[in-house]
Structure 1
Amino acid sequence: MATSTGKIDFHYQGATYQTWYKLVGNVRSTKAGVRPLIALHGGPGVSHSYMTPHADLLASHGIPVVLYDQIGVGQSSHRKDAPKEFWTVELFMDELESLLNHFGISGDYDLIGHSWGGMLAGNFAAARHPAGLKHLIITNTLASMALWEESTAGLVKQLPQNLQDIIRKHEKDGTTDAPEYQEAMMVFYKQHVCRLEPWPQDLTVSFAAMEEDPTVYHTMLGPSEFTITGTLKTWTIVDKLPTIKCPTLMMNSVFDEAQDVCVLPFFKYIPQVKWVQFANSSHVPFFEERERYMKVVGNFLTKV
């Protein structure tokens, strides 16, 4: 499997940053009806590593895949000193455009976004109306942060009462870095982020990258997946969904953090949309039901 890595200069607000990427396959040599797929990782601020299963699509369907670390995490530029106003959806949409232009594929490509990456991908499709975007995939993500909070709050209420009490106490006291809070959070994650035991190495690498520099995650999201205090707290794309014109695949899972309540607007308001749900997965079906996931994604991208 041919792979290459590199860094792209990304110019933003008078400064130059670098975006690290990994290309699997060759964006210039695709068969008819197949386009490069750009994969947007989640977090925000969790590195690309856990998205590497999508490289399977090259072998199974001939689809070249571009993975990258968004600015602020992994091997791309970091800005620990940046004010919170720096970390915006516009920043990451500009970075995505920079990536597309670097590879010369802005006129013909597909896009997949997972979790926060799905928010970014949907926002990009709805706000910038990119003519070259042929297929959009939004997986295990949300249409508004208010609906995400409703989804995760319902899941937290299913935890044992002692864990709920620990979570509430430390969030009230502002001590979410306490070991018992972290342990309670991991119980939630092992039920609704990834149900495999142990977690795949690529997933642990991505979370380790976030822990090494949590600037983006804490600034835009908050201390955990279910406690939203960051700049994305009021984010919504619901009113923009009817403007997404390309064929769209949306996916979530039965045990997902992204329960049906927070993905339903995609199905209701995107004009050309298909909804697939995974019965035996949580937030990362590309690990938990890898074979079926790749078949669903590959067939959508090559047969629509």
Structure 2
Amino acid sequence: MRLLILGRDGQVGTALTQLLAPLGMVVAFGREGADLAHPEGLAKIVDRERPDVIVNAGAYTAVDQAESEPELAQLVNADGPAALARAAAERDAWLIHYSTDYVFDGEKPGPYAEDDATAPLNVYGASKRAGEQAIGKADGKHLIFRTSWVHAPGRSNFVAKILGLAQSRDELRVIDDQVGAPTSARLIAEVTARAVAKIAHDRPLARGIYHLAAAGETSWHGYASYIIGEAVRRGVPLKLRPERVLPVSSSAFPSPARRPHNSRLSTHKLRSALGIELPDWQADVLGTLDTLLPETIR
């Protein structure tokens, strides 16, 4: 099996490159080798590499910045994936793509199912929904995994940001009226590997959209409190204590892009299709903390 990964250097792409290697011959590109902002060149890459499965982990993820760069967000999150989907369909290859909870408006009182109506509140979410629609329109073999609140070892995510602030501040205000499930890039890659293995054994999942997130739910405030509490429990020298992580509403932090208040995703469809259970978000976060906390102590 030949596997082509785009977005190699991102959080999900890094995990994918490691976990998909045992399943076949992997060719992975970062932006310099396969730029989604230049959709016209993607078909040539697919023709050259002749993959059985294309895994697109590349995306424009700067949610607030997208409000002032809608054309670029559309190129990377919709036009690029559309070109990949057409190229995959022409080669009868599978395309695996990642989307987001931000395709929803957050007004539903419970977890969102895959067939719930989408209504993104911001440019980023709209561009990701456009990508989903373009992939479906290409009518090829595809899996779209919607996920939420992604974290991984590194410096560009919520876990690292909170740990960094906790070293210099003795009080931190964090939003408590947005709810979702923190989900690790490794978990996303592990589930993707299971899906690819089923393709390899000619028992693929039914094409379409699946929700992929850790189990349970929390607010950003609950998430931050858990991170700080776990760090303190492990003896990490932080100025901030868990009781000084204070809850505030979204209105306390105005931002260019609106966020959904409810980002909960029902994963029943995915769990049934793969015959798996997904870990609670707290257990999933521990893997990221295991890497970041020693770096925080240094």
Q: TM-score range by the shorter chain?
A: 0.3 to 0.5
Instruction: Give the TM-score of the pair, scaled to structure 1.
Output: 0.36
